[in-house]
Amino acid sequence: MFELLTQWRIIIEDFLKSNIQPLSKDILVADIGYGDSTFILRNAFPQLEIIDSGQKPKDLKIHQLNICDDIPVNLCSHYNLVCCCETLEHTKQPFIAAQNILKLTKPNGIILISVPCHIFYHAMLPFCDDYWRFFESSIPLLFPNNCQILQVNSHYNNLTKQTYDMPIGITATLQKIGGET
């Protein structure tokens, strides 16, 4: 299982780097949840802000907010790029979280999502539990309105494809369209 987790982290890192490389370093970026993606984003974007209800990194601007709670007006349509990597499976209300991700994103802004499929249960109690698994078909259900799905990919390795026919995880790139969510 450790090999699977290592492969998945490499996939996420490649996904993030390939999507953020063409972007200006001066844009406003939100990372939903404080985790591995934060370290990649921190190096690329000096104005990175974290939206998380638990952890408090001292060297980054953090908004103490559960992504399933109401979004403060000053954060609505505020970010050019919103990344939500390895977080949706930990939310009790992923559909509300998805709508709030859209609320945070500026019109024409980019949303990067990654979610595990065939990864072991990984709660981080008392901060969060592990509730859900998502697949390619889940992304349009989570984001049915006000965004265009630019790309959704299932990522496999030999074990997950041949033995389980289940991906290690899913990555998705979306673009918000319109001003309302």
Q: Sketch out the chain's domains with CATH numbers.
A: 2-176 (3.40.50.150)
Residues of the chain falling short of pLDDT 50: none
Q: Is 55 helix (H, G, I), strand (E, B) or coil?
A: coil
User: What pLDDT shows up at residue 96?
Assistant: 97
The amino acid sitting at 90 is: H
Q: For residue 117, what are the CA distances in angstroms to 15, 89, 125, 160, 170?
A: 16, 9, 20, 10, 7
2 membership: H or E segment, kind and range: helix 2-20
What pLDDT does residue 76 have? Answer: 96
> What's the CA angle centered on 180, arms 176 and 181, to 5 degrees?
70
